[in-house]
A and B are shown apart, each in its own frame.
Chain A
């Protein structure tokens, strides 16, 4: 109870004291703004407002206000009296970070009274954070760090923000002591892109960094491989096998590794080529190591594609490669002991231990062998590095090998000369003198030299031979003389060569050469050559050798023959070409064209001419056989010109045809060309058709269609030849008889030939029509029609000057529809219809007398 009263009294006292103090500390005015934060370099204005009560009490107004910063009075130039109670002060380009600003009044009696005070804090707004990066340490949560930018001098908060496309995660706020990194609260989810950025904010502003978007699996820093172990192989002394256990991150991503190693005493690391460890694995064999050497290894890993971070290095682990046989024999030498009994001498053999890189293992012992010339052999196995033996005064060969667990080294050989070797040196014998220095720590490198007690000329000269012989030069070669026959140092060689009749020439050659080229030789000449070798004491000639230089140099003959042959071939070729071009001229002058009677033809047909002709060659046979050419003149059937004019131009027309259109055939040939004009056959002379009665007309003027037009009626072909007639031609009766017997379906051989030549026409529709008509009527009917046509043609041909083609057609049609048998009438109807269809097409005329079954010669 007493305690309660005491507490109550104390509380009341405190309350009253506070109240009274508040009255006493009631400021006389205030400054606006009260807690300013100003950007460095900017302007700042503060206003002090006095209270009326205070003004009355102190009898002051705003003019009495003066400002102080950090206890220093601000110049009055920066003041501005706003009104009776308020005065402001302005600061330009604030540079101080922390300013204490007070508003004061000077009261009566020059007493300064502080009215109010504030603290101006200045700084800078945050810069945009840069270099934002994140790391996901395995087993930990994601940590991001960034460069905050310049110092702001203000309290700046950094917030790490992160989100998925569909989700936003909690902000990560930095701690005051580490404002440049932040670790998020959630565990990373791999294989989902996350967007991360940083926002920096202080009293002067807020700014965000660039956003980064990544898959956390690409930012992983895995645990290093653990349980690294190193094992060697007895089979290979140059390898060590590393094995380790990968971290559990292996289930999320493939790994690559970085393996480094060094020898135990080395300070620098060697690295396994990265391409050898670029895939997930749990072991690796390091090759090309030194035998029996201790190596230290360490390993780290990271994501296979290089995204992310290397893990820390694993704990170092060491291993020793297996032993290998010593790679080098130990050097050794001997010492002669000073005291020795008669016929016996003590010799101490000494050697050094091999360094580790040559021993390739632990040296178990050394094996020493002593051989006295080729007979006696003594073996010693020594663990020490020296051996003392008693030897006779003979010459010995000592060998030494080092042995380890794997094998023995190569042998080191040391000759131990006989005790009195100095009296047996021979003259003109080559000796190899070797001097080996012996130092305190072992033998030095030996030096050797060849020497002769006394030289002599060689006992044999060198044998020279040719290596290559040319037209004007020869390459000589020889072998070095064997040491046994040199008898001294060979100083030089001399080559002697000469021809049969010439003087001998000598050439000196240095002893180091084994080849020499003789030049300026004469071609096709026999040379004799010999060679001598010289020591300081004289020389010795070798055997003589002969060779003959060739007449021509290599390729010289070819250089002459080939161009000549080529020129000949070219000339021949040009001649052939010339003859080929002028073959017609040559043929005309040398072997003119003589007709082959066996290849004569009755007629040839235009491809468009109907093949159904019954020729009677005998009718066309003439006794005069002087004609060699047959010309066929084709005249347009619908030509309106009168016939005399045509005849006038016939000669020119004929000649033109021979040279251009080729409508004329040769001997025994006939026109089988496509033409819309009827053809006229004539001889070379300007004669009418009737005037060719002296010739045998084998040609038929064919009225064929022009350019696929089908001729309607048959025309004639005429040939003039002196060739003998065929049997069938001589006996037309037989032909006629056969024709009559077999009817129209039987085609005589000659007719077959015609059909072959003019088979194209058989496919013509008109021909088909013609064929159908022929089937209806008899062969006699067909012949009758032909007879009528020929009669008409004959008639017209006899009156060339008065007829026209039109009239010719009319007459032909009228005669064709003339009276006759019933069958003939049907035939005429068919032909007449054909004539009607072919109206306007060229018609033919028959200049020859026609009998049944063929044409008759005129």
Chain B
């Protein structure tokens, strides 16, 4: 019974987040610095390979010389750090939110391989998305504008699942390595935001808003505006 209850909660979270309709319940902190601090701690936590990759490699028998070298990040799955730095604040948050959605989906697939670890990591990913939502609320015009994921458009889709078991393991390893690297890059961006909360013209909320609104013109055709209170995606 105790095991079923969190599973149900997690399923609800996954469905809500994946279908982009989170239910806004509690109140967010209005302190953007506190949120940034929390997000940076979360990314610090997530970039540690002992959270996911190492247990996965150990469980899959990939932590042996000769196989470790093949567990390299598959390019294009996660945006590079310089691409993340080039995004507006809103675009960055949307990209991060979308990528974490992909990670949640992938972790669900990997659940059999990492039953216990992935549960903890998933909860932390939900926590990151919660903070992303709260931080997005602090951006000016958060309830009216939505910007497409900038970096996401540049990424190539993940490789199709391999039929071969070993290849599938390797793909999972590569994905997790890319995920840890991606979280490190995200942490760098948040670090920069914390250093220059509003001095950075590039990441100025107002400028980001203007830039987002400018960019939105061609890309928003045929797209609906998000209802108030939803996560910007």
**A joins B in a complex:** yes
* Contacts A165-B130, A166-B130 given; does A189 touch B27 at CB 8 Å: no
B5 is an interface residue with CB less than 8 A from chain A: yes
Among candidates A167, A170, A194, residue contacting B22 with C-beta atoms closer than 8 Å? A167
> Could you give, for residues 155-186 of chain A, a 1 whenever the CB lies within 8 Å of some chain B CB and a 0 otherwise?
00000000111111110000000000000011
Q: Is B24 a contact partner of A166 (Cβ separation < 8 A)?
A: yes
Q: Is A169 a contact partner of B9 (Cβ separation < 8 A)?
A: yes
Interface size on B, residues (CB 8 A): 33
Q: Is A252 a contact partner of B123 (Cβ separation < 8 A)?
A: no
Across the interface, name the chain A residue whose C-beta is closest to B119.
A187
Q: Is A165 a contact partner of B123 (Cβ separation < 8 A)?
A: no
A195 is an interface residue with CB less than 8 A from chain B: yes
Segment with Cβ contacts to A, from B37-45, B140-148, B151-159, B169-177? B37-45
Q: Is A185 a contact partner of B2 (Cβ separation < 8 A)?
A: yes
Q: Is B23 a contact partner of A166 (Cβ separation < 8 A)?
A: yes
Q: Is B26 a contact partner of A192 (Cβ separation < 8 A)?
A: no
Q: Which residues on A sit within 8 Å (CB–CB) of B23?
A: 166-168
A98 is an interface residue with CB less than 8 A from chain B: no
Q: Which residues on A sit within 8 Å (CB–CB) of B129?
A: 166
> Could you give, for residues 429-473 of chain A, a 1 whenever the CB lies within 8 Å of some chain B CB and a 0 otherwise?
000000000000000000000000000000000000000000000
Q: Is B28 a contact partner of A170 (Cβ separation < 8 A)?
A: no
A546 is an interface residue with CB less than 8 A from chain B: no
Query: Which residues of A in the span 207-221 have a Cβ within 8 Å of any Cβ on B?
Result: 213, 215, 217
Chain A nearest Cβ from B64, distance in angstroms: 26
Q: Is B6 a contact partner of A186 (Cβ separation < 8 A)?
A: yes
Among candidates B17, B24, B29, residue contacting A193 with C-beta atoms closer than 8 Å? B29
Across the interface, name the chain B residue whose C-beta is closest to A166.
B22
Q: Which residues on B sit within 8 Å (CB–CB) of A380?
A: none
Q: Which residues on A sit within 8 Å (CB–CB) of B127?
A: 164, 189-192
Among candidates A165, A170, A187, A252, residue contacting B24 with C-beta atoms closer than 8 Å? A165
- A167 CA to B17 CA in the complex, in Å? 10
- A189 CA to B38 CA in the complex, in Å? 11
Q: Which residues on A sit within 8 Å (CB–CB) of B2?
A: 185
Q: Is A186 a contact partner of B9 (Cβ separation < 8 A)?
A: yes
Chain B nearest Cβ from A414, distance in angstroms: 71
Q: Which residues on B sit within 8 Å (CB–CB) of A215?
A: 38
Among candidates A166, A170, A251, residue contacting B231 with C-beta atoms closer than 8 Å? A166
Q: Is B25 a contact partner of A163 (Cβ separation < 8 A)?
A: yes
Q: Is B42 a contact partner of A191 (Cβ separation < 8 A)?
A: yes
Among candidates B6, B26, B45, residue contacting A164 with C-beta atoms closer than 8 Å? B26
- A190 CA to B13 CA in the complex, in Å? 17
Chain A nearest Cβ from B221, distance in angstroms: 29
Q: Which residues on B sit within 8 Å (CB–CB) of A185?
A: 2, 5-6
- A190 CA to B126 CA in the complex, in Å? 11
- A166 CA to B23 CA in the complex, in Å? 5
B120 is an interface residue with CB less than 8 A from chain A: yes
- A170 CA to B41 CA in the complex, in Å? 26
- A170 CA to B4 CA in the complex, in Å? 12
Chain A nearest Cβ from B84, distance in angstroms: 20
Which of A165, A190, A215, A251 counts the most chain B CB atoms within 10 A?
A165
> Could you give, for residues 162-198 of chain B, a 1 whenever the CB lies within 8 Å of some chain A CB and a 0 otherwise?
0000000000000000000000000000000000000
- A215 CA to B26 CA in the complex, in Å? 13
Q: Is B9 a contact partner of A170 (Cβ separation < 8 A)?
A: yes
> Could you give, for residues 56-77 of chain B, a 1 whenever the CB lies within 8 Å of some chain A CB and a 0 otherwise?
0000000000000000000000
Known interface pairs A166-B17, A167-B12, A189-B123; 16 further A-B residue pairs with C-beta atoms within 8 A, sorted by A's residue number: A164-B127, A165-B24, A165-B26, A165-B133, A165-B134, A167-B9, A167-B25, A168-B25, A169-B9, A170-B5, A186-B123, A187-B123, A190-B127, A191-B41, A192-B127, A195-B26
Task: Please give the residue numbers on chain B whose beta carbons come within 8 Å of chain A beta carbons, in ascending order.
Answer: 2, 5-6, 9, 12-13, 16-17, 22-29, 38-39, 41-42, 45, 48, 120, 123-124, 126-127, 129-131, 133-134, 231
Task: Please give the residue numbers on chain A whose beta carbons come within 8 Å of chain B beta carbons, in ascending order.
Answer: 163-170, 185-187, 189-195, 213, 215, 217, 251-252
User: Can you list 19 A-B contacts (CB < 8 A)?
Assistant: A164-B126, A165-B25, A165-B130, A165-B133, A166-B23, A166-B26, A167-B9, A167-B16, A167-B130, A186-B123, A189-B127, A190-B45, A191-B38, A191-B39, A193-B26, A193-B29, A193-B134, A213-B26, A251-B45
